[in-house]
Chain A
Amino acid sequence: MRQLQRVMCVEDDPDIRMILEFSLGTVGGYEVCMCAGGQLAIDQVAAFKPDLVLLDVMMPGLTGPQTLAALRAQPEMTGVPVVFLTAKAMPDEVEELLQFGATGVIVKPFDPVKLPQDIRIYWEHGGGQRID
């Protein structure tokens, strides 16, 4: 079975990008491709070939759901789980995000020490769940 190694993060907030780099790169040991917006992710996905994408929902320009739709159109994204990262955590909002075709939802603020394990759970067991 392929290992979870390459994680693409799409997040507009520089502080969240900083803590994601620490969490997934330093703590988790993953190879991380950090994108400050949806278009950058779309531009880089073919070259990076992520095993999993962590995608912020509320971003200027392309939103998370719009970015997800564009990423899904690329052949490199076949079978690649996409997990939304959101500070909106009401059950109906989470359900709506899952209906866009995400594998799961991780709620901000996240624990940077626990996050590497949380995304591994999505990688190993598939989604449809919310992780706080």
Chain B
Amino acid sequence: MASGLTDGLTSSTSAQFTVLRQRYVAGLASRWAEIASAEDTQTLLAALHRLAGSAASFGYERLGHCARRAEARASEGNAAALAAALEEIQTEMALLA
């Protein structure tokens, strides 16, 4: 969805979408804080689920995929794989910031 997402929109609408994307990126630090501070699997899964369900709608498909992967690893209870998946999210967020 990312680059072609705004095809066909007027320049004004496309500009509004750009602003929304910037707002979303500005909120990623608090989303990461939710993930990093989760004290139990259920809270972690909920935070990852929200990230996975929103990122690609703003055109950030890779971040969404990383979140989906981490959600799956957290469900499986595989601590090492989960740690790697969370690191991917952090890396992806740093690239967007």
Interface of A toward B, CB cutoff 8 Å: 13, 15-16, 18-19, 22, 26-27, 58, 87, 108-113
CB of A111 within 8 A of CB of B1, answer yes
Q: In the complex, are the beta carbons of A112 and B55 less than 8 A apart?
A: no
B57 touches A113 (CB 8 A): no
Residues on the A chain within 8 Å of B41, using CB: none
How many chain B residues touch A (CB < 8 A): the figure is 24
Q: Tally A-B pairs: CB < 8 A.
A: 53
Q: Which residues of B contact A (CB under 8 A)?
A: 1, 5-9, 13, 16-17, 20, 23-24, 27, 46, 49-50, 52-58, 64
Q: Is the interface of B mostly helix, strand, loop or mixed?
A: helix
Chain A residues lying within 8 Å of B56, measured Cβ to Cβ, are 109
What's the Cα separation between A109 and B17 when bound, in Å?
16
CB distance from B93 to the nearest CB of A (A): 14
